[in-house]
Amino acid sequence: MNVKTGEVLAMATLGGYDPNNYLEIGDPAVQQELDRLKGAYSTLQQGSEAYDKAVNAYQEALVAARLAQWRNRGSPTAMSPDPPLRPSPWPPPLKRGPPR
């Protein structure tokens, strides 16, 4: 960071996934949970209400896992802007002529 201007000069994060294979889940614990969810619907009868719910749960978890690993942790997701400039409640100083 440039200390005089606040400009960000460089930023780096340790990615948890391979950008060349971005659909693969990098976290083993998350992948294990996804495998568990996938196994849950693979034993159910296709077309049943329970099967549809299990497939939806798996797909939602998969999307959430992919979005979580793609997130850039180097930059904040929500940044509050600087407070707006407000007029001073005090009147400007009276202008006088040059000191005598």
pTM of the model: 0.58
Average pLDDT per block of 10 residues along the chain, 100 residues long: 82 68 83 92 90 93 87 64 63 65
For residue 36, what pLDDT is reported?
93
For residue 89, what pLDDT is reported?
67
CB 75 within 8 A of CB 11: yes
Q: Give, in order, the Cα–Cα distances in Å from 73 to each of 12, 20, 51, 70.
A: 9, 19, 35, 9
For residue 97, what pLDDT is reported?
66
Q: Closest Cα to residue 74, out of 23, 29, 9?
A: 9
